[in-house]
């Protein structure tokens, strides 16, 4: 194990966030509020030495990461396994539209996320599998302090697994736009990632 500290940072606000739409794989840039949020987030790391910055390849995450990286004169590297969950046929819909076409699906996702498979989308356990594989490899190949700029569900799943909790707890501590989780990485964290199996 080489990484000592790992941050999971949620991207800033987009217009789809503001409209409470299922954003998922929708590739949209930050709005002005989102850029201001990440400028504030970046200022919190003025005295922090960062060894690597990675991001989901979606525009909102890459742009968020670049705001942080710019202050450190660093480059951002995209990682496909950090991409947000695929909402399938719910992508781009607001809450009212989702309820009209797929009654109860989003409500169940908030209370029992592991039981939901979005039509033509991606189940939570599949997101967790790709996250565990990618993260366990990254934590052993990088050094020092690593920033991962990603999405709300990715951050929630990572927190659940790294804290040894079931995936059903992914909503317990929601990352708002521009917020982050910080983990001091231990061998126990690596073990949990390696031992993760489909629920």
Helices (H), 44-186: 59-72, 95-101, 105-111, 124-141, 152-162
**β-sheet bridge partners, residue 113:** none
Report helix angle 32-43 to 59-72, nearest 10.
40
Mean pLDDT of 179-186: 96
What's the whole-model pTM score? Answer: 0.95
d(CA 105, CA 125): 17
pLDDT of residue 52: 97
Instruction: State the first-to-last Cα distance of the chain, in angstroms, to the nearest integer.
Output: 26
pLDDT tens figures, 128-165: 999 999 999 999 899 899 999 999 999 999 999 999 99
pLDDT of residue 197: 83
List, by residue number, the catalytic residues: 11, 84
The share of the chain scoring above pLDDT 90, in percent, equals 95
160 backbone dihedrals φ, ψ, rounded to 5°:
-55, -50
In this prediction, residue 199 has a pLDDT band, given cuts at 50, 70 and 90, of confident
- Tell me which CATH homologous superfamily contains domain 3-195: Phosphoglycerate mutase-like (3.40.50.1240)
For the chain, the structural domain boundaries read 3-195
Average pLDDT score, the chain: 95
pLDDT of residue 2: 78
pLDDT tens figures, 16-60: 999 999 999 999 999 999 999 999 999 999 999 999 999 999 999
């Amino acid at each position: 194990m080489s990484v000592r500290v790992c941050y999971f940072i949620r991207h800033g606000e987009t217009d789809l966030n503001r409209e409470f739409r299922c954003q998922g794989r929708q590739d949209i840039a930050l709005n002005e509020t989102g850029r201001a949020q990440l400028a504030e987030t970046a200022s919190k790391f003025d005295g922090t030495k960062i060894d690597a910055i990675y991001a989901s390849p979606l525009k909102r995450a890459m742009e968020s990461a670049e705001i942080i990286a710019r202050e450190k004169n660093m480059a951002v590297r995209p990682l496909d396994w950090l991409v947000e969950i695929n909402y399938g046929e719910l992508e781009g819909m607001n809450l009212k539209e989702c309820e009209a076409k797929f009654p109860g699906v989003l409500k169940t996702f908030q209370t029992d996320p592991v039981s939901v498979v979005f039509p033509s989308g991606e189940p939570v356990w599949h997101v967790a599998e790709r996250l565990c594989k990618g993260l366990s490899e990254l934590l052993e190949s990088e050094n020092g302090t690593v920033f991962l700029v990603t999405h709300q569900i990715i951050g929630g799943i990572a927190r659940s697994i790294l804290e040894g909790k079931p995936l059903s707890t992914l909503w317990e501590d929601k990352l708002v736009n521009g917020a982050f989780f910080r983990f001091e990485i231990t061998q126990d964290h690596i073990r949990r990632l390696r031992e993760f199996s489909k629920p």
